[in-house]
Amino acid sequence: MPCALILMAETGGGHRSASIALKEAFEVLYPGEWDVHFIEIFAQILPFPLNRAGSIYRPMVAYTPFIWSTLWRMGEKPFVQEMVEICFSPFAKGALLRFLDYYRPELVISVHQLANHVPVGVFRKAGWDGAFVTVVTDLVTLHTLWFNPNVDLCIVPTEEAKTKAIKAGIPRQKVRLLGFPLSRRFRPAEDKEAIRRKLGLQGGITTGLLVGGGEGMGRLFKVACAINEATLPIQLLAVAGRNRSLRNRLESLNWNIPHKVYGFVDNMDQLMQASDFIITKAGPGTICEAMAVGLPILLIDFVPGQEEGNVEFVERQGVGVFAPSPSEAVRVLKRWLSHPQEIQDIRQRAPGLVKVEASLDIVAAAVEVVYNRQNKREKQEKGEKDAVPLGVNSR
């Protein structure tokens, strides 16, 4: 059975969600034919203390966003990228080669910007002849580390990403615009009230979903307080993710409205289907999932660097608005509640703006690269076998 490795990271929830969507697509398209494994690029590849790098993502973004923004922009410089590759290759080489020897993958898929240069270099130098595919999981503001001309295929979700990939030096024929990898579970609800009953929620009331990605980032608590103090006629579902401190604060809040507080969840599709709108930071995965379900999007924050362009993307698509302060968020919600047709219009329009089946197209394209490489290899081997040595039967 051929093996596929998906290189991802537990920074936020988007990379894992994309990885799960791709694994589900393998099972739909090739049931029982592919062995798919996730590799966490920080925890499983880098040695201590570098393997803890992923855990500092949320604190840095939450408490020192200016440092994160500076590092993100510095990484755009070519000499910095070269230094990263030179410095990290020796630390990652041993683990990468062990994974290569243990799994012997026919296909490696990267869904993280830091897994497109070092792994390709290490694998190719080791003589690996499999297919390496990058699946870009950012929408508009894309770091150049996403793009390595030496990959076999680079799959992008937007026209902006396609333009950036070609400009970064990836041959045009290697770049394919196929959409964002979404789980096929993210679809408009057929019966919203039935889902609410299943989740133990109050029925017959407008429901909002407050979420800040897998790490519970953004102005969630302040916005929750503002909504609660305004005593809006809604039910609020607040997802704190892995942020235990945020969950404790939300649970201790003196609530005036119906609510439910969650930690990290694996049923985000159901929570979205039970809701009428979503309040979130500008994470690309959450945006695309919300659009697929048909939720109006109220953006309250963004991660400096990679999420900046997502704010304009949401507003340009006409599926949401940006409210950078709790008071503005409350004003938008009051407007939506007093003009329910605005919510209904977005609910009907949004699903048609995102490719729900993109994960299937992405996996099919990646597997096609594998088969093409195998066919090319077989032809070369056959040609070498059939070649007549120079001087034999030359008369």
Amino acid making up residue 69: S
pLDDT value at residue 56: 65
Q: How far is CA 248 from the centre of its chain?
A: 27
User: For residue 168, with 0-12 CB atoms within 10 Å meaning exposed, 13-18 middle and 19 or more buried, which class applies?
Assistant: middle
* CB-CB contact of 237 with 275 (8 Å): yes
Token pair, residue 109, equals 């898929």
pLDDT value at residue 104: 95
DSSP state of 352: G
Closest CA to 362 of 22, 106, 13, 115: 22
DSSP state of 136: -
Which helix (H) or strand (E) segment is 212 a member of?
none
pLDDT value at residue 51: 66
Token pair, residue 322, equals 């940006």
pLDDT value at residue 391: 43
* CB-CB contact of 32 with 42 (8 Å): no
Sheet with 235-239, side-by-side order of all strands: 259-262, 235-239, 207-211, 277-281, 297-301, 320-322
Token pair, residue 347, equals 């609910």
pLDDT value at residue 156: 96
pLDDT (tens, 9 = 90+) of the chain, 395 residues, equals 899 999 998 776 678 899 999 999 999 999 999 999 999 988 888 876 666 666 666 666 666 777 767 777 776 777 767 777 776 788 889 899 999 999 999 999 999 988 888 999 999 999 999 999 999 999 998 888 899 999 999 999 999 999 999 999 999 999 999 999 999 999 999 899 999 999 999 999 999 999 987 777 778 999 999 999 998 999 999 999 888 989 999 999 999 999 999 998 989 999 999 999 999 999 999 999 999 999 999 999 888 878 889 999 999 999 999 998 999 999 999 999 999 998 999 999 999 999 989 999 999 999 999 998 888 877 777 776 665 454 443 33
User: For residue 233, with 0-12 CB atoms within 10 Å meaning exposed, 13-18 middle and 19 or more buried, which class applies?
Assistant: exposed
Could you give the domains of the chain?
Answer: 3-183+357-386 (3.40.50.2000), 192-353 (3.40.50.2000)
**Is residue 368 helix, strand or coil?**
helix
pLDDT value at residue 174: 96
**Whether the model pTM is above 0.85:** yes
pLDDT value at residue 373: 85
As a whole number of angstroms, the distance between CA 93 and CA 91 comes to: 6
Token pair, residue 35, equals 């062995």
